[in-house]
Amino acid sequence: MTYCVGIEVNEGLVFAADTRTSASFDDVRVYRKMHVFEWPGDRVFVIMSAGNLATTQLTISRLQRDADDPHAKHSLRTFSHLYEVAEYVGDTLVASQVKMSDEAQQSGVNVQSTLILGGQIAGERPGLYMIYPLGNCIATSPETPYLQIGESKYGKPILDRIIRPETPLEDAARCALVSLDSTIRSNLSVGMPVDMALLRNGDLKISQKMRLEADTPLYSEIHDTWSRKLEAAVHSLPRFPWEPQRDPEQESPGPLPVMPPRRAPSRQDPGDAQGQQ
C-alpha cells in the first residue's frame, strides 16, 4: 500500500508521499513514488503514484521517453494547458495498464494504478489532478483543495480541518507531513522515508524538495510536537459533569511514548542510483 497527498493553496502546491512498497509480508522495499519533470521558466510537473509498481514505472518511463524526444507529437513539453497534460498522462497510464494486463492476465495480478498530477505551465495558475485507472481525472476545488491516493483515511482529518485556499504554503506542507505521520503511525503498509516537494506559484520550478527519514530532526520535532499538542488538547477539553473541575493550564501531559523503531530497514532507492525507476 502507499499514501500520497497533494495540496493546492493560493500560494502554490504541496506534494508528499511515502516510499514503502511490499510484494508480500516479508518483501518490503523503498521506492520513489514522487516523480518530477521540470523545464525551469517554462513548466514543471510532479506525478505521484499508488497501485501496481510495474505499471507506474512503465508509465513514467514512457512519459520521460516522449519528453526527451524532440520529434514526439505529444509529450509533457508540447501542451499549452495543464488539463491537456492530465488527459495525455491518463492516456499513457491506460496504455501501460493494457500492456501489463496482457502479460499478467494469467496470474490474476491487479495492474491498475492511480496518479496525482500537479504542476504549472507558464501563463497559467498551478493545478492539481487525480488520474484514475480508466484515464479520466478530477481537479481540486475551493471546497476540497487536496487530493489523496492510497491509504487515505488516517491522514484525512487534519486536511479537512485545516486546509483552505488561503492557508500559507508552509502551513500546508506541515499539514501534509502530519497527515503522513498519522498514517504511518496507524498503518504498517505506509512507511518512511517521506518525500516532499513545494511548488510556489510563479516559480515554474520546484521551490523546495526534501526526503525525510524517521530520525531527521525536522520530522522528529514535528512528530513529537504534534503528539504532545494533541495530547494536551485532549486534557484541555471540557470536563464531564461528574468530574471535578480543574484548571487545564496547571496540568501538563505525561511523557510521550518513544517513537517505535522502523519496522523494516531502509533499502537504497533505485531512482537515486539510476535516475529513473
Segment 95-118 shows an average pLDDT of 86
Average pLDDT of the residues of the chain = 89
Q: Evaluate if residue 219 carries a pLDDT over 50.
A: yes
Q: Evaluate if residue 206 carries a pLDDT over 60.
A: yes
Reading the block at residue 52, the C-alpha cell is 501496481
Confidence of residue 266 (pLDDT cuts 50, 70, 90): very low
- Residue 202 maps to which CATH number? 3.60.20.10
Q: Evaluate if residue 245 carries a pLDDT over 90.
A: no
Q: Evaluate if residue 108 carries a pLDDT over 90.
A: no
CA distances to 59, 125, 187, 200, 204 from 13, rounded to whole Å, are 23, 10, 26, 6, 11
Tell me, what's the pLDDT at 100?
A: 86
CA distance 277 to 272: 9
CA distance 115 to 135: 10
Segment 214-235 shows an average pLDDT of 93
Write the CB contacts of 256 (distance below 8 Å, at least 6 apart in sequence).
224, 227, 228, 231
Whether residue 61 lies inside any domain: the answer is yes
Q: Evaluate if residue 78 carries a pLDDT over 90.
A: yes
Reading the block at residue 16, the C-alpha cell is 508528499
Confidence of residue 265 (pLDDT cuts 50, 70, 90): very low
Whether residue 20 lies inside any domain: the answer is yes
Whether residue 229 lies inside any domain: the answer is no
Segment 155-182 shows an average pLDDT of 97
Whether residue 257 lies inside any domain: the answer is no
Write the CB contacts of 230 (distance below 8 Å, at least 6 apart in sequence).
none
Whether residue 241 lies inside any domain: the answer is no
Tell me, what's the pLDDT at 25?
A: 62
Confidence of residue 104 (pLDDT cuts 50, 70, 90): confident
Tell me, what's the pLDDT at 246?
A: 72
Confidence of residue 205 (pLDDT cuts 50, 70, 90): very high
Write the CB contacts of 226 (distance below 8 Å, at least 6 apart in sequence).
178, 181
Q: Evaluate if residue 197 carries a pLDDT over 50.
A: yes
How would you write 29-63 as a 3-class SS string?
Answer: EECCCEEEEEECCCEEEEEEEEECHHHHHHHHHHH
Segment 1-26 shows an average pLDDT of 89
Reading the block at residue 259, the C-alpha cell is 517513537
Tell me, what's the pLDDT at 88?
A: 98
Q: Evaluate if residue 62 carries a pLDDT over 90.
A: yes
Strand partners, 197: 15, 209
Confidence of residue 249 (pLDDT cuts 50, 70, 90): low
Q: Which of 88-97, 106-115, 180-189, 222-231 has the lowest mean pLDDT?
A: 106-115
- Sign of the CA dihedral running 219, 33, 48, 202: positive
Segment 174-203 shows an average pLDDT of 96
Whether residue 97 lies inside any domain: the answer is yes
Number of domains forming the structure of the chain: 1
Tell me, what's the pLDDT at 188?
A: 85
What is the domain extent for residue 129? Answer: 3-220+263-274
pTM above 0.95, yes or no: no
Segment 156-172 shows an average pLDDT of 97
Strand partners, 231: none
Contact of 163 with 153, CB cutoff 8 Å: no
Whether residue 232 lies inside any domain: the answer is no
How would you write the chain as a 3-class SS string?
Answer: CCEEEEEEECCEEEEEECCEEEEECCEEEECCCEEEEEECCCEEEEEEEEECHHHHHHHHHHHHHHHHCCCCCCCCCCCCCHHHHHHHHHHHHHHHHHHHHHHHCCCCCCCCEEEEEEEEECCCCCEEEEECCCCCEEECCCCCCEEEEECCCCCHHHHHHHCCCCCCHHHHHHHHHHHHHHHHHHCCCCCCCEEEEEEECCCCCCCEEEEECCCCHHHHHHHHHHHHHHHHHHHCCCCCCCCCCCCHHHCCCCCCCCCCCCCCCCCCCHHHHHCCC
Give the tens place of pLDDT for each residue, 26-47: 677 899 999 999 999 999 999 9
Whether residue 109 lies inside any domain: the answer is yes
Q: Which residue has the cell 530497514?
A: 265
